């Protein structure tokens, strides 16, 4: 492992933000001005990216074990800053239709096995073969030639970029008098003389090749590829190197720690995904020594990234499951646990081949992406269906905040819903109206990306782009799913259940009186709000009557999404998490009939509204189990907040709870283990809690960096002391 002194220097570097992002922006703008008029958009994009790779500084810090990082602040000169400001003036008025637009969705993983086994030179030979096979009678022949030219431009630039890193490592090695550091730099130089141009032959070369390509895609090319399943694709190199004595576990652990720190430098707090365990492409359970190391490194590095998750199946070793829970017990909020069987069934139902369905990743939060074959669009868009209740209860108009795009105006007569069935039918009709209005816009966006955006480098490593001669965003990728996301879904369930009880069953108020209370934010209706909060059934407590509404709405939304296709044949699938949008939309949404006040955060996951899971975690598990979650490949998060004493004294019971959760067909579970007193003190004294981590709605973040509405949302969640 890295020494504690070295790790602390790196942490200080990360929190002091000494990496220079404006330097990347400088080269991007300069390249755009040079190549914006190139005839074909994908070739313009390739030339711009190649220019960036040829000019971006090859920076290696004194503590780096792997090459690939943003340059340092001192490399961004005052002259560059002045020139960047001048270029920004020249770029004013340039619309979104420009030559550097990437087809990246930010949520995909390239084929790292192909990179490691073929190297870039092997991919260039593959492209040469496809070019020779083009026939002049093919109507797409010109488009294919242009696509292949753009791929070659970026691939060759990546090789040149790696060569500059090799030279820099050699230069620094020659200058240092520290024999240990000299050996580290010489190792980098030797690896960069091989990869990513040629196939990797050692564990270090493999990890260096993967990180370098991830770095250039994220920081330079604007295409993004997350790290994927490293315990799978790195394992053959690990086994060979161990067998011949080339590497030991302490060195491997140091390299993994450096990789994790690099994630924090590159992505900040944006969740950068690593997934371990699960199955390989043949369906064989995959658990090995690296699986343990990638989980253990969560604790030895102690920062927010990467967003490590584990694919859970019944074959998981018990000591590895214990290690996962121990990381959560210590407050690191990771790994999240995904139900391998449920995810694979859901992907296959969506048309994914079995070998691809087994090999997926949560591509930042909890959304599911088949590796090496995807152009998935996540949280596209976020939709707060609680606005539908505003339209129904306010004569077809919003009560507060922003409107959604609607297919047509909502017509509503609040006095006409004389039965619950008539009200519920109107609610579904309005949901349909909102979804159709929002998704028509997304179809337009996908068409735009197909025509005017490009990702040449990433497309070289995404099936089936090279075989088809198409960019990943223009129909080349094998899977093109769109994942609309529905923050506040549980508020919608609870609101409809509350209306059924207090308006139609107990008849204590009318719909109009509820509407008036919503407009007034319950200021004059404290007793009504108390009834809505405390006397009406809430999802997440194993109450069949409200859980049935949740299951019915889940199925209704799923069926609505089936009506849509994109211009390249992409299908739509729902997701139930929120990133930070439950806070944003909570501030833009009126009070809701479940008793939630305006500006309070909406529900963040498929669980219970914050603080409403009063019958405990087991009841919550039973409620969500009534929903067929295999259809939620867009991503489903279920949050649990346990006390430290429960995770300490009831560790075995928590382990069995996890197994029962998975046996019941639930999608994903994630944990917060932090005392209420700690959270409240962190609000008052943030300087004392710089690294305090909390799980939000599918990802983790530093508590003190959250907006107050999200801090309060986490605090409001019930802390459970038993099961």
Burial (CB count <10 Å: 0-12, 13-18, 19+), residue 159:
middle
User: Tokens 């995770």 map to which residue?
Assistant: 647
DSSP string, 540-581: TS--HHHHHHHHHHHHHHHHHHTT-B-TT--BB--BB--TTH
DSSP string, 410-431: ----GGG--SHHHHHHHHHHHH
| pTM higher than the cut 0.75 | yes
Could you tell me the pLDDT band of residue 76, with boundaries at 50, 70 and 90? Answer: confident
Residue 23, pLDDT score: 80
Asked if 632 and 551 count as a contact pair (C-beta separation under 8 A), the reply is no
Q: pLDDT tens digits, residue range 406-455? A: 999 999 999 999 999 999 999 999 999 999 999 999 999 999 999 989 99
247 to 204, 243, 250, 291: CA distances (angstroms): 9, 9, 8, 17
What's the rounded mean pLDDT across residues 90-96? Answer: 64
% helix, strand, coil for the chain, step of 5: 55, 10, 40
Asked if 608 and 490 count as a contact pair (C-beta separation under 8 A), the reply is yes
What's the rounded mean pLDDT across residues 569-585? Answer: 95
Residue 285 β-bridge partners: 279
Could you tell me the pLDDT band of residue 97, with boundaries at 50, 70 and 90? Answer: very low
Tokens for 345, please give them: 């069934």
Residue 475 pLDDT greater than 90, yes or no: yes
What's the rounded mean pLDDT across residues 307-334? Answer: 97
Q: pLDDT tens digits, residue range 281-306? A: 999 999 999 999 999 999 999 999 99
Tokens for 20, please give them: 């220079």
Residue 38, pLDDT score: 87
Tokens for 105, please give them: 């969705």
Residue 385 pLDDT greater than 70, yes or no: yes
Question: What is the spatial distance between Cα 109 and Cα 458, in angstroms, rounded to a whole number?
Answer: 9
Comparing CA positions, the residue from 636, 641, 671, 110 lying closest to residue 366 is 636
Angle in degrees, CA 649, 652, 656, rounded to 5:
140
Asked if 487 and 583 count as a contact pair (C-beta separation under 8 A), the reply is no
Residue-averaged pLDDT of the chain: 94
Asked if 312 and 338 count as a contact pair (C-beta separation under 8 A), the reply is yes
> Which sign, positive or negative, has the C-alpha torsion 150, 151, 153, 157?
positive
Q: Where are the domains of the chain?
A: 378-455+481-634
Question: What is the spatial distance between Cα 42 and Cα 132, in angstroms, rounded to a whole number?
Answer: 20
φ, ψ for residue 701 (rounded to 5)? -155, 165
User: Tokens 């609680």 map to which residue?
Assistant: 386
Question: What is the spatial distance between Cα 307 and Cα 109, in angstroms, rounded to a whole number?
Answer: 14
DSSP string, 674-719: --HHHHHHHHH-GGG-TT-EEE-SSSEEEGGGS-HHHHHHHHHS--
What's the rounded mean pLDDT across residues 34-49? Answer: 90
Residue 96, pLDDT score: 42
Question: What is the spatial distance between Cα 331 and Cα 675, in angstroms, rounded to a whole number?
Answer: 10
E strand map for 190-346? 273-277, 307-312, 336-339
Element (H, E) at 159: helix 141-175
User: Tokens 């161990």 map to which residue?
Assistant: 242
Q: pLDDT tens digits, residue range 481-532? A: 999 999 999 999 999 999 999 999 999 999 999 999 999 999 999 999 999 9
336-339 and 668-672 strand pairing: antiparallel
Residue 92 pLDDT greater than 80, yes or no: no
Instruction: Estimate the crossing angle of helix 203-215 against helix 112-133, to 10 degrees.
Output: 70
Asked if 115 and 212 count as a contact pair (C-beta separation under 8 A), the reply is no
239 to 179, 184, 290: CA distances (angstroms): 28, 21, 10
Q: pLDDT tens digits, residue range 684-711? A: 999 999 999 999 988 999 999 999 999 9
Question: What is the spatial distance between Cα 696 and Cα 709, in angstroms, rounded to a whole number?
Answer: 12
Q: Does residue 560 or residue 27 have the better pLDDT? A: 560
360-362 and 639-641 strand pairing: unpaired
Question: 652-661 long-range CB contacts below 8 Å, 24 or more apart?
Answer: 653/723, 654/325, 654/723, 655/318, 655/321, 655/322, 655/325, 657/617, 657/618, 657/621, 657/723, 658/312, 658/321, 658/325, 658/337, 660/621, 661/621
Element (H, E) at 483: strand 482-485
Measure CA 633 to chain center.
Answer: 13
Comparing CA positions, the residue from 157, 186, 150 lying closest to residue 171 is 186
Phi-psi region of 469 (alpha: psi -120 to 50; beta: other; left: phi over 0): left
Comparing CA positions, the residue from 186, 200, 282 lying closest to residue 238 is 200
* Minimum mean pLDDT range among 75-89, 219-233, 424-438: 75-89
Comparing CA positions, the residue from 51, 430, 443 lying closest to residue 222 is 51
Rg (CA), the chain: 26
Q: In sequence order, what are the residues at sequence separation of 6 or more whose Cβ sits closer than 8 angstroms to the Cβ of residue 322?
A: 651, 655
Instruction: Estimate the crossing angle of helix 617-625 against helix 651-663, to 10 degrees.
Output: 10
Question: What is the spatial distance between Cα 614 and Cα 511, in angstroms, rounded to a whole number?
Answer: 27
Residue 572 β-bridge partners: 482
Residue 315, pLDDT score: 96
Asked if 569 and 593 count as a contact pair (C-beta separation under 8 A), the reply is no
Residue 224 pLDDT greater than 90, yes or no: no
Residue 94 pLDDT greater than 80, yes or no: no
Could you tell me the pLDDT band of residue 100, with boundaries at 50, 70 and 90? Answer: low
> Which sign, positive or negative, has the C-alpha torsion 499, 502, 507, 508?
negative
Question: What is the spatial distance between Cα 377 and Cα 443, in angstroms, rounded to a whole number?
Answer: 11
Question: What is the spatial distance between Cα 586 and Cα 536, in angstroms, rounded to a whole number?
Answer: 21
């Amino acid at each position: 492992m890295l020494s504690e002194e070295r790790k602390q220097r790196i942490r200080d570097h990360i929190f002091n933000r000494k990496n220079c992002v404006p330097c990347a922006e400088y080269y991007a703008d300069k390249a755009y001005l040079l190549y914006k008029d190139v005839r074909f958009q994908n070739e313009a994009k390739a030339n711009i990216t190649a220019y960036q790779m040829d000019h971006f500084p090859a920076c290696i810090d004194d503590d780096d074990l792997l090459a690939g990082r943003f340059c340092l602040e001192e490399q961004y000169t005052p002259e560059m800053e002045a020139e960047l400001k001048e270029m920004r003036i020249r770029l004013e008025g340039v619309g979104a239709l420009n030559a550097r637009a990437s087809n990246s969705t930010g949520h995909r993983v390239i084929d790292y096995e192909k990179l490691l086994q073929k190297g870039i030179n092997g991919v260039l030979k593959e492209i040469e073969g496809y070019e020779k096979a083009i026939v002049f009678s093919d109507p797409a022949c010109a488009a294919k030639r242009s696509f292949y030219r753009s791929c070659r431009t970026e691939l060759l630039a990546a090789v040149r970029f790696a060569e500059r890193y090799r030279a820099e490592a050699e230069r620094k090695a020659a200058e240092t008098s520290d024999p240990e550091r000299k050996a580290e730099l010489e190792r980098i130089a030797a690896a960069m003389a091989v990869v990513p141009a040629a196939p990797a032959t050692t564990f270090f070369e493999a990890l260096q090749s993967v990180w370098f390509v991830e770095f250039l895609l994220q920081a330079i090319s604007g295409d993004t590829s997350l790290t994927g399943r490293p315990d799978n694709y790195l394992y053959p190199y690990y086994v060979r190197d161990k067998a011949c004595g080339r590497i030991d576990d302490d060195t491997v652990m140091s390299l993994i720690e450096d990789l994790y720190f690099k994630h924090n430098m590159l992505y900040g707090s944006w969740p950068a995904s690593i997934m371990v365990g699960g199955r390989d492409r043949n369906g064989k359970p995959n658990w090995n020594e690296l699986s343990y190391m990638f989980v253990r490194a969560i604790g030895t590095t102690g920062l927010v990234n990467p967003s490590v998750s584990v694919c859970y199946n019944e074959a998981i070793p018990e000591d590895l499951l214990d290690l996962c829970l121990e990381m959560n017990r210590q407050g690191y909020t990771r790994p999240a646990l995904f139900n391998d069987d449920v995810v694979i069934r859901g992907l296959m139902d969506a048309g994914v081949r079995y070998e691809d369905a087994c090999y997926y990743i949560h591509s930042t939060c909890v959304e599911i992406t088949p590796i090496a074959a995807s152009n998935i669009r996540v949280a596209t868009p976020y939709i707060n269906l609680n606005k539908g209740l505003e339209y129904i209860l306010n004569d077809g108009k919003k009560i507060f905040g922003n409107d959604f795009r609607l297919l047509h105006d909502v017509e509503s007569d609040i006095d006409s819903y004389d039965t619950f069935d008539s009200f519920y039918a109107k609610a579904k009709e309005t949901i349909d109206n909102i979804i159709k209005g929002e998704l028509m816009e997304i179809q337009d966006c996908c068409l735009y990306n197909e025509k005017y955006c490009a990702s040449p480098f990433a497309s070289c490593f995404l099936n089936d782009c090279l075989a088809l001669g198409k960019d990943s965003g223009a129909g080349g990728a094998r899977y093109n799913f769109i994942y609309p996301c529905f923050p506040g879904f549980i508020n919608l369930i609870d609101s409809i259940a509350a209306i059924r009880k207090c308006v139609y069953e107990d008849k204590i108020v009318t719909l109009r009186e509820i509407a008036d209370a919503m407009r007034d934010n319950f200021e004059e209706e404290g007793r009504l709000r108390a009834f809505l909060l405390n006397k009406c059934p809430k999802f997440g407590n194993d109450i069949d009557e409200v859980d049935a509404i949740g299951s019915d709405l889940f199925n209704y939304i799923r069926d609505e999404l089936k009506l849509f296709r994109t211009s390249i044949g992409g299908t739509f699938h729902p997701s139930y998490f929120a990133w930070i949008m439950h806070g944003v939309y909570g501030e833009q949404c009126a009070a809701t009939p479940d008793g939630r006040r305006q500006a309070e955060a909406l529900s963040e996951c498929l669980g219970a509204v914050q603080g409403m899971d009063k019958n405990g975690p087991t009841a919550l598990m039973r409620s969500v189990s009534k929903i067929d979650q295999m259809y939620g490949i867009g991503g489903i998060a279920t949050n649990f907040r346990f006390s430290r004493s429960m995770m300490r004294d009831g560790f075995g019971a928590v382990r069995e709870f996890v197994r029962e959760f998975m046996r019941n067909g639930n999608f994903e579970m994630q944990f917060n283990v932090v005392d209420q007193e700690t959270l409240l003190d962190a609000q008052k004294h943030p300087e004392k809690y710089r690294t305090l981590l909390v799980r939000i709605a599918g990802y983790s973040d530093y508590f003190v960096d959250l907006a107050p509405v999200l801090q309060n949302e986490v605090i409001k969640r019930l802390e459970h002391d038993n099961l």
